[in-house]
Amino acid sequence: MGSVSTYFENVKNAAVTIFEGMAVTLSWMFRRPITIQYPDRTPEPVKDTLPDRFRGILEVHIPACTACSACARACPIDVILVETQKHPSGKGRLLMRFDIDISKCMYCGLCTEACPTGCLRHTPVFEATGRDIHNLVVHFVDGPVVPYKHKKGRPVPASPPPGDIVQALLKPWDAEYVAWSPGEFVERDAGGGDGEKGAASPGKVEGGATGSGSG
Amino acid sequence: MENALNKQAVSDDLMILNMGPQHPSTHGVIRFVITGDGEVMQRAVPHVGYLHRGIEKLAEGLPYPSFVPFTDRVDYLAAMFANHGYAMAVERLLGIEVPRRAEYLRVIVSELNRIASHLIGVGAMAMDIGAFTPFLHGIREREKLNDIIEELCGARLTYNYIRVGGVSFDFPQGLDAKIRAFLDTFEPLMEEFDRLITVNEILVKRCANVAVIDAETAKSYGLVGPNLRGSGVDWDLRRDLPYSAYPDFEFNVCLGRGFRGTLGDAYDRFIVRVQEMQESVKIIRQALDGLPEGEIKGKLPRKLKPAKGEAYGAVESARGELGYHVISDGTDKPYRVKIRAGSFNATSIVEHASRGLMIADLVVLIASLDVIAPEIDR
Ligand code: SF4
Ligand code: SF4
């Protein structure tokens, strides 16, 4: 009876191969588990285990930013907003606003490659959330600042460890949304800013949205 | 596309069943409208378009290099190929030479990506059939690959690694050894995977002789990649239209042979993927051994402005031929980018191949075609 023997052949095959598969599964019971309980029981913070090139949330080290807008132009989806203005003294420019919308960014890295001073970089920070999505727009400058001017042979201002800047600027998840308004102009002795020493009469910043004019 | 739900007469005793778009075994948002006579399908009509993001149109508003991150989203399980095809088309348009080292790096990451994609492909197929464990084994191995690629380029899925003119990063220190270590552990694990599921009689019985696509039909529907080779058609772009550094390597093109049933059944397509992973391992080893020194990015003008004309670049992706047809009108933005993706054709054959199939076998058919929704819709 061919069909009967095929039937039992099938049953035998199924039993044997299932047993074999189960043996494999069982053997994994005695190997080291690879599962990690995220986020509260990781052996070390995930942030510290990430490779150097990890493309996390962007941050910009303002004291080294030349306000050249190369990053904003490189971004295919207009995540970065760089606003500059003429310096009130008529010489040079002021960096008025530097926003990165981390809820919109796709972490492609094109902007960081365009940055001439390397002040814009990806960080190992990857956890950010907010009840209001507008809170995920990170404002890197509070008020107008004199952009960095690069001079040959001089090192770019040293920056804190990656992640520190943006971590400090991220709001708690349940923070109320408050619209950003530019603060007041502060003279800053950053890198090449000294080229325009004294030029910045802190008085009025043309078109500065606050209109406040104290120093 | 006709809407079977509206059109079918109610009187002919056929049952109309809707599957998807939110269905775990449609591999993304695809909807199938099944016309069935009891358990037997007359046909299953795929309705696509739920994941259409207009990527081709987006290309027309972006400079050539800026479109690369968008190609990642064409096929998020195998984004390296999507990068590569576009980069190749633009390179042909510009007539630039890519450094050897970059070509080798491209091959290495592509093959790593192929393994990652096939692991999901075969794992998900087993899961759709009812075996959950193999999927986790696949995911576990893929996770290691993701770690390797993350170390190389900083991202786990949307790599943006292969750029016009080369690649974005060179190997960091020690990655070479890491890849070799992975390959060494991967090979025994592959054998274990075979013992776990590939020879499993239930899987075999479930897939063998199911959803048979013969060679002629496969060709006429324009199937590509493992689906085409599963039907026994000996066609692989890596060998037959050599690109990048593939002519330097030796590998076999895996074909379906009716391993446990008919040529071109679901099991053949499954096996072809399993075997292709082993071939990829071979290619990666050869590429690592022969990795030349040198630049990783060719000389590019600051602004890419190809002359008027058009070019086509196609790669053998994990899902078959993935081609980009780029037309330039002489400006720094493409006039038109057309993406030819394997999953679209693979979906189109569902209506034909589902004729006479049991409803329960539809998931076997879909899974064996390894379609991925973003590639269908773009
Ligand atoms: S990482 Fe990409 S998307 Fe994000 S800001 Fe930079 S260029 Fe734009
Ligand atoms: S972050 Fe870099 S690219 Fe962007 S404005 Fe500053 S210096 Fe220029």
The CATH number linked to B233 is: 1.10.645.10
Å from B156 to nearest chain A CA?
9
Nearest C-alpha neighbor of B20 from the set B10, B11, B30, B12: B30
Confidence at residue A205, expressed as pLDDT on a 0 to 100 scale: 38
In a domain, A43, yes or no: no
Number of structural domains (chain B) is 1
Strand B40-47 to B31-37 pairing: antiparallel
Residue A22 lies in a domain: no
Closest C-alpha to B317, from B69, B56, B86: B86
Check residue A201 and give its pLDDT.
Answer: 37
What mean pLDDT is predicted for residues B311-329? Answer: 89
Please give the pLDDT value at position B355. 84
Ligand 1, atom 6, residue with closest C-alpha: A111
Per-residue pLDDT, averaged over B326-332, amounts to 88
- Would an 8 Å CB–CB cutoff place B67 in contact with chain A? yes
Query: pLDDT of B212-222, one tens digit each?
Result: 888 888 888 88
Question: Residue A73, exposed/middle/buried by CB under 10 A (0-12, 13-18, 19+)?
Answer: middle
Q: Going by CA atoms, what residue is nearest to atom 7 of ligand 1?
A: A75
- Considering the domain boundaries, does residue B15 fall inside one? no
Predicted pLDDT of residue A188: 55
Which of B62, B140, B154 faces A54 most closely, judged by CB atoms?
Answer: B154
Contacts of A128 (CB under 8 A, 6+ apart): A57, A102, A136, A170
DSSP state of B358: B
Given a cut of 50, whether residue A198 has pLDDT beyond it is no
CB contact set of B232 (below 8 Å; sequence gap of 6+): B215, B255, B256, B257, B258, B263, B264, B268
- Domain that includes residue A61, residue range: 51-192
Domain that holds residue B228: 55-377
Q: Cα-flanking dihedrals φ and ψ of residue B306, to 5°?
A: -70, 155
| Option in A53, A74, A106 nearest B169 (CB) | A53
Contacts of A34 in chain B (CB under 8 A): 140, 143
Specify the 3-state DSSP secondary structure of B17.
strand
Residue B313 CA to residue A15 CA, distance in Å, equals 49
Q: Is the pLDDT of residue A203 over 60?
A: no
In chain A, what residues touch B72 (CB-CB under 8 Å)? 108
Separation CA A5–CA A8 (nearest Å)? 5
* Token couple for B227: 């689906």
**Is the shortest distance between the CB of A108 and ligand 1 below 6 Å?**
yes
| Of B66, B143, B158, Cβ closest to residue A110 | B66
Residue A62 CA, ligand 2 centroid: distance in Å = 9
Q: Which tokens is B84 given?
A: 């590569």
Tell me the ligand closest to A192's alpha carbon.
Answer: 2
First to last CA, chain A: 102
Q: Which pair of tokens denotes residue A77?
A: 């989806």
Tens-digit pLDDT profile for residues B246-260: 888 888 888 878 777
**Are B326 and B310 within 8 A, CB to CB?**
yes
Residue B11 lies in a domain: no
Cα distances from A105 to residues A56, A83, A165, B91, in angstroms, run 10, 18, 18, 27
The pLDDT > 70 percentage for chain A reads 84
Query: Does the pLDDT value for residue A207 go beyond 70?
Result: no
A204, part of any domain:
no
CATH code at position A120: 3.30.70
pLDDT band for position A133 (cuts 50, 70, 90): confident
Tokens of residue B11, six digits: 């009187």
Higher confidence at residue A205 or residue A108? A108
Neighbours of B21 (CB within 10 A): 17
A-side interface with B, Cβ within 8 Å? 10, 13-14, 16-18, 20-21, 23-25, 34, 50-55, 74, 76, 106-110, 113, 122
Residue B153 placed within a domain: yes
Q: Please indicate whether residue A16, judged by its CB atom, sits closer than 6 Å to ligand 1.
A: no
For the question of an ipTM over 0.85, the answer is no
Q: How many domains does chain A have?
A: 1
Query: How confident is the model at residue B325, as a pLDDT?
Result: 92
Task: Name which residue leads in pLDDT, A52 or B11.
Answer: A52
Mean pLDDT of all residues in B110-124:
90
How many residues in chain A?
Answer: 215
B139-151 confidence digits (pLDDT tens) = 888 988 998 998 8
- Asked whether A69 lines ligand 2 (CB < 6 A), one says yes
- Give the separation between CA B239 and CA B232, rounded to whole angstroms: 16
Residue nearest to atom 8 of ligand 2 (CA): A68
Side-chain-side CA neighbours of residue A205 (13 Å): 26
Q: Which amino acid is at B9?
A: A
Residue B7 has pLDDT above 70, yes or no: no
**Residue B38 belongs to a domain:** no
